[in-house]
Amino acid sequence: MKIQPAASLNGVIRLPGDKSISHRAAIFASMATGKTRIENYATSADCASTLNCLRNLGVEIRQEDSTVFVKGVGADGFTKPPRELDCGNSGTTMRLLAGVLAGQNFDSVLTGDASLSKRPMRRIIEPLTEMGARIESENGCAPLKIHGANPLQAISYKLPVASAQVKSCLLLAGLNAKGKSRIRNPKSQIETPTSRNHTELMLRYLGAEIEESYIEAEGGFVQEISVAGNSTLVAKDLKVPSDVSSAAFFIVAASCLENSEIVLENVGLNPTRTAILDALQSFGADIEVLNRNEICNEVVGDVRVRGRKILVSKAASNLIGGDIIANLIDEIPILAVFAAQIENGLEIRGAAELRVKESDRIAAVVENLRRMNAAVEEFPDGFRVGKSSLKGATVDSFGDHRIAMAFAIAALFAEGETEIIGAESAGVSFPEFFQTLAGLRR
């Protein structure tokens, strides 16, 4: 894919459904009793992997464009799959389904592509084993052979990492456990949940007995989420908001290109996902939320962005780190591109989890920014990017959707043409990305 610099972005658009919420909608609707209609289901390849796995587990699913109809089988009503369950590139599919499969009375195998087969799974294997499932793996990685058990034992577990996938995996296993499971997030200095809470919100929406509480401890906050094992999910139609993580690419682009004005309609604005908007605003971006509303327990709104020639920072420091990282983890590649546009640049720390995403995102960002002439320093847990005049170059997606899209935006700011190797990996979360970008260019 070859990308030319852009003068501005303009237009009003509605992006596809949120990837995280879509996975959950399909899985929870399958675990419910009754029929669900899911509107605006994500068009991403990852979310297609989830539907495919659920069909192989005996769930009747019909799709008409972005509307998905699911006939629920109940939390423990899945059937032994006739083949291995291929999660493709999707960590969310693998980790959430592992939680469901741990509580079924049959054996199943979860597989994934080369990238997913390298990602750490001990973080789910250990607690699921404690709950009574038996899981075989390749040194803590996929393929995972899951010997399910029903009922599982309830668990009281402190998460070693602020991971929504691990938390969700255990909450889903908890639905098939005897008693109440309690999952504690790592200690945090901020009172917002330390990882996205779509699972908690949607499970509650569907009638699960789920409670969130904060305990003040050791000079910080500890969040505990409990779920009752005898909860039943009752099917209810679901509407998925547009994906704020996909929106972030256009928000950064429009913020930095003078004379831009875009409106992104119906974007999911769950506070555990919007740290990116706060960060961009604090560094001078002109972002406004209009028509704030709530659907299916999730905050949504229209996001208006206006471009400025010079971004004047109001932030106290040019360092982003600590507990806020979990709330913008997927936006760090595009934040790195933004960093090269702002006075004094930006340092990101405490983000070592980026090394075990779809690619080593710290290495990928550093390598590509350097190829584009940016001043970058790499740390084990992050990087520092100085304000830089980007130059067109050949960059690599490293097979990672967010790297492909982040550098398509970097290309808009650069002098000369940029070529992205492996740009098609954008389809993992946002197949329409390049077409949408072309439609906004002026």
Which are the catalytic amino acids? 330
Is residue 323 marked as binding? no
281 is written with which tokens? 């605003």
Q: How far is the CB of 196 from ligand S3P (least distance, A)?
A: 6
Q: Which one-letter DSSP state was computed for residue 429?
A: T
Is residue 396 marked as binding? no
Is residue 24 marked as binding? yes
200 is written with which tokens? 């908690």
Q: How far is the CB of 390 from ligand S3P (least distance, A)?
A: 26
Peptide bond into 151 cis (omega under 30): yes
How far, in Å, CA of 59 to CA of 205, rounded? 21
Cβ-based burial of 312 (10 A; exposed 0-12, middle 13-18, buried ≥19) = exposed
Residue with smaller CB distance to ligand S3P, 202 or 329? 329
State the maximum Cα–Cα separation within the chain, in Å, rounded to a whole number: 61
Residue with smaller CB distance to ligand S3P, 164 or 175? 164
Of 113, 53, 123, which Cα lies nearest the Cα of 85? 53
Q: Which one-letter DSSP state was computed for residue 393?
A: -
Q: How far is the CB of 329 from ligand S3P (least distance, A)?
A: 5
How far, in Å, CA of 222 to CA of 96, rounded? 23
Q: How far is the CB of 17 from ligand S3P (least distance, A)?
A: 13
Report CA-CA distances (Å) from 431 to 18, 331, 359, 402, 404: 13, 18, 18, 12, 12
Q: How far is the CB of 164 from ligand S3P (least distance, A)?
A: 4
Is residue 281 marked as binding? no
Cβ-based burial of 229 (10 A; exposed 0-12, middle 13-18, buried ≥19) = buried
Is residue 184 marked as binding? no
Is residue 119 marked as binding? yes
Residue with smaller CB distance to ligand S3P, 304 or 402? 402
Residue with smaller CB distance to ligand S3P, 208 or 329? 329
Residue with smaller CB distance to ligand S3P, 196 or 371? 196
Q: How far is the CB of 434 from ligand S3P (least distance, A)?
A: 20
Q: How far apart are the first and last CA of the chain?
A: 19
The length of the chain, given as a count of residues: 442
Q: How far is the CB of 323 from ligand S3P (least distance, A)?
A: 13
Is residue 180 marked as binding? no
Chain mean position to CA 255? 22
Binding site for ligand S3P (CB under 6 A): 20, 92, 163-165, 168, 195-196, 329-330, 353
Residue with smaller CB distance to ligand S3P, 92 or 388? 92
Residue with smaller CB distance to ligand S3P, 26 or 262? 26
In degrees to the nearest 10, what's the CA dihedral of 86, 201, 327, 10?
90
- Which residues, 6 or more positions from 297, have their beta carbon under 8 angstroms from its beta carbon? 201, 202, 204, 205
Q: Determine phi and psi for 174, rounding to 5 degrees.
A: -60, -30
Residue type, 376: V
How far, in Å, CA of 228 to CA of 349, rounded? 37
Is residue 165 marked as binding? yes
How far, in Å, CA of 313 to CA of 279, rounded? 10
Return binding residues for phosphoenolpyruvate: 19, 91, 119, 165, 361, 402
Return binding residues for 3-phosphoshikimate: 19-20, 24, 163, 165, 330, 357
Return binding residues: 19-20, 24, 91, 119, 163, 165, 330, 357, 361, 402
